[in-house]
Structure 1
Amino acid sequence: MSDAYNSSWFAEKLTDRSIRGIALETSALIRAGALPVGAKLPPIRDLAFSLGVSPATISEAWSELRRQKIITGRGRNGTWVSGDSFVAKPERLASVGHYGAGVLDLTMAVPDRALLPALGNALVHAVSTEKLNSYERSRILPELEADVRRTWPYEAEAFLATNGGYNAVYTLIHALVPPGAAVAIEEPTGMRLLDILEDHGARIVPVVCDSDGPLPASLRQAMLSKPVAFIFQPRLHSVTGQTVATRRMAELAEELRDTDVLIIEDDGLADISDAPRQSLGRVFPDRVIHILSYSKTLGPDLRLAVLSSTRLIIEQIQSYRSFSSGWTSRILQGAAAWLLRDETTAEGLKEARRLYQARRDNLVRALAERDVIVPSGGGLCAWVPVASEPFALVTLAARGIAVHPGKKFAVQPTHHLRVATSNLTDRYEEVANAIALAASGG
């Protein structure tokens, strides 16, 4: 089969000799069935010669098709057509399982719905929002901006409402980061952040963390890769439950001072944490993008986050958004503004924060009694060390408990489990017993 699809065959079929053109026309041949699944592609140098382009051009085109899961393989064994269609999907998120009624699902570090505020009065207020149902592509509702500014961690020049925290990251990455560019990101990190970067084709440069946050030496090493951006969580870490120490923020600022790296701060848990809000925007207001999501505190169906930066950067992000929705629902923005001013909501959040902390502490304490040590922290989950992730997952599954392996939250090898605690209201001893057995590695 492979002899029929040599470099001469390709030279007759491909008319656009650019990287993008070669990738698009080759994928079209595959989807049309002219180049079937299983066909071996010609060597890069042979094809480059026949097309009159450089080997680097073919290599880049093949990299794009490889990223789309259309072709596979490389090196001496050759490259093969592995699929005739491509549906973009977040690989890490998509691998989350669906569990039966008898399984204790501790994979989802999501808010307890019973602890979220009621939305009725907020939505009644929201229907009287200024310019409701206008097609004007407004960046943020004035009343929401006013409420947000009161507690924002630095004096930001401009604000933008988005459809949730990950939507904010997805949009700004596509607006500001060229495909293939290097992006430094703390490790571990949110699996959906990695999905976004991998789908965009970014070169992910991990920055190792300790209990105080990203390590300055690791960030310094990452800067050698000339990243376009550095992404980290400046407040409560969504995976480890740690908070970046004030002195560590200052040390990170020193590492970033003589660079032009875009600094993306993702505060995804917001006031689930009782730690003060902090931002490098105080030092680098010209290149910080600070994101605050309200999904965990006010409710995921509000689909709301707010980001800040310079007017120029906000304009660039908004310009990209104009290809799709163009603005975030004024009804949802108005509802969030009402909730941010509501004393009952504030009291409810205080109680939710106490309960989330107690649930995490109860599991961490039970694990410590079994010699499994998880650092103190907060948030909606625990980052549990294990000898072997595969063994731990199988052991827990046999006992009807589902958790995430650490590898979903990192690009380097890990030896951890991410255990959600936000909805773990009881059964601490049972879970701790199972984890202690799983953590041993057999």
Structure 2
Amino acid sequence: MNSSISADWLARTIVDRSIRGIALETSALIRAGALPVGARLPAIRDIAYEMKVSPATISEAWSELRRQKIIRGRGRNGTWVSGDRFIAQPERLASSGDYGAGVLNLSLAIPDTALLPPLAQALAHGATVDKLNSYERSRVVPELREAAEARWPYRPEAFLATNGGYNAVYNTLRALVTPGSAVAIEHPTAMRLLDILEDLGVRIVPVACDEHGPLPASLRAAAQERLAAFVFQPRLHSVTGQTVSAERLALIGDILAESDALIIEDDGVADISGAPPASLGVRFPERTIHIVSYSKTLGPDLRLAVLSSSAAIVEQVQSYRAFSAGWTSRLLQGATSWLLRDEASRDIVAKARTVYQQRRDSLAAALAARGIHTAPGSGLCLWVPIISEPFAMVTLAARNIAVNPGSKFSVLPSAHIRVATATLTDRYEEVADAIALARSP
């Protein structure tokens, strides 16, 4: 079978000799069965010679097909057809388990629904918002802008309501960053952020962190890569629970002052953090994109976040959104604005913040009593150091406890597990005992 797939045959079959054309026509040949699954492709240099294009052109086309999981392998080991179609999916998120009854699921760092504000009055108010059901593609309703701006860390030129925090990050990167660009991001970071970056096909540059935030030396080294963007979580890190200190934020700003990289700030847990909002938008308003999600504080079914930046950047992001949902539901924007202004709802969020802290601290204390020390912090989970991730995962699974391996949260080697604590109301000693066993292969 492989002998019939020659560079000459590919060259005669593929008409469009651009990178995109070669990738599209090759994937069409695979779907049609002309290039069967398991077939070995000719060497890049041979294809390039027959097509009279540069080897770099073929290499880029093959990179796109590898990203889509249509072909696999590289270099001297050869390249094979591995699939006849591509269904995009966030691999880290998609690999999360579907656990049955009896399993203590500590893999999802999600809010406790009992600690969310009731939505009935908020939604009733949302139904009265101006221009409800209009097809006008408005960026943000005035009352949501006003409510969000009251807690915003700087005075931006423009705001945009989006369908959740990750939707805001996804649209921003798609609109502003080209595939193949270098994008720096904290190590570790949210697995959804890595899914988005990998789907976009950028070159991910990890930045090491400590308890104060991204390390200046690591960020300075990353900046040498001619970054298109730096993505980080200044207020509360969703994985480690750390907050970037004011001193560290200033140092980060000094380093980025020597770069023209976009600064994308993801505040995914909002007022679950007791720290005040923080942003480099004060120093770099023309290229900072600050995103606040309200899913974990006010309700995931609101599917709402607010993004701010310069008027030019917001216009670019909005233009990209015009290909799909041109605006975010005004009803949900109105409901969110009501919750942000409602005193009782703010009290519920404050109580939730206290409860989440108690739950996190309770497991941390139980682990410390067993000689396992985790960094102080807040949020919905603990970042627990272990020796072997596979051993830890198997050991905990044998005790009907599900967590996430640290490898899901980085492109670098990891020796951690992420343990969600937001819905852990008891059983701290039991979980700590199991983690202690899981830490000793």
* TM-score bucket (shorter structure): over 0.9
Counterpart position of 1:158: 158
Tell me which stretches of 4 or more aligned residues in structure 1 moved more than 2 Å. none
Determine the structure 1 residue equivalent to 2:289.
289
SS of residue matched to 1:296: helix
Separation in 1, partners of 2:236, 2:41: 48
1:135 equivalent in alignment to 2:135: yes
Instruction: State the Cα deviation string for residues 238-272 of structure 1 (Å, max 9, x = none).
Output: 00001001100000011011210100000000000
Tell me which residue corresponds to 1:146: 146
1:31 aligns with 2:35: no
Aligned to 2:89: 89
Matched letter for residue 226 of structure 1:
R
Amino acid across the alignment from 2:280:
L
What residue number does 1:259 align with? 259
The CA deviation string for residues 80-106 of structure 1, in whole angstroms up to 9 with x for no partner, is 111111100000000000111011000
Supply the distance in 2 between the matched residues of 1:132 and 1:22 (Cα, whole angstroms). Answer: 46
Please give the per-residue CA displacement for 1:148-184, whole angstroms capped at 9, x wherever unaligned. Answer: 1111000111000000000000001100000111100
What corresponds to 2:70 in structure 1?
70
TM-superposed CA distance for 1:77, in Å, is: 2.0
Q: CA RMSD in A?
A: 0.5
- The 2-side partners of 1:405 and 1:77 are apart by 30
Aligned counterparts of 2:395 and 2:236: Cα–Cα separation in 1: 30
Shift of 1:39: 1.1
Partner of 1:331: 331
Shift of 1:75: 1.5
After TM superposition, the score normalised by the length of structure 1 is 0.99
Could you report, residue by residue, the CA deviation over 1:310-356 in whole angstroms, capped at 9, with x for unpaired residues? 00000000000000010000000000000011111011111111100
Aligned counterparts of 1:77 and 1:152: Cα–Cα separation in 2 = 52
Amino acid at match of 1:325: A
Structure 2 distance, partners of 1:258, 1:161, is 31
CA distance in 1, matches of 2:23, 2:201: 14
Match in the other structure for 1:225: 225
Question: 1:11, CA displacement in angstroms?
Answer: 1.2
Aligned to 2:391: 391
- The residue type paired with residue 71 of structure 1 is I
Which position in structure 1 is the counterpart of 2:171? 171
Residue aligned with 2:136, SS = coil
- Between the two proteins, the alignment pairs up a number of residues equal to 441
Deviation of residue 185 (structure 1)?
Answer: 0.4
Answer yes or no: is 1:59 the counterpart of 2:54. no
* Residues in 1 aligned to 2:80 and 2:278: alpha-carbon distance in whole angstroms: 49
Shift of 1:224: 1.1
Distance 1:35 1:437 in 2: 49
Q: Secondary structure at the match of 1:264?
A: strand
Cα distance in 1 for partners of 2:165, 2:333 equals 14
Amino acid across the alignment from 2:66: R
How big is each residue's C-alpha offset from its partner over 1:182-241, in whole Å with a ceiling of 9 and x where there is no partner? 100011000000000001101000000000000010000001111100000010110000
The residue type equivalent to 1:438 in the other structure is A
Q: What is the alpha-carbon distance in structure 2 between the residues aligned to residue 230 and residue 394 of structure 1?
A: 35
Aligned partner letter, 1:211: E
SS of 1:194's equivalent? helix
* Residue 343 of structure 1: aligned partner: 343
Q: Which residue of 1 aligns with 2:113?
A: 113
Matches of 2:76 and 2:230, distance apart in 1: 35
**Cα distance in 1, alignment partners of residues 236 and 69 from structure 2:** 35
Corresponding position of 1:195: 195
Residue 295 of structure 2 aligns to a residue in which SS? coil
The percent of aligned pairs where both chains have the same amino acid is 68
Deviation track 1:7-35 (CA, whole Å, cap 9, x = no partner) reads: 11101110000000000000000001111
Aligned-partner Cα distance in 2 for 1:103–1:120: 32
**Per the alignment, in what secondary structure is the counterpart of residue 114 of structure 1?**
helix
Counterpart position of 1:274: 274
Unaligned runs of 5+ in 2: none
The CA distance in 1 between the partners of 2:240 and 2:157, in whole Å, is 31
Aligned to 1:378: 378
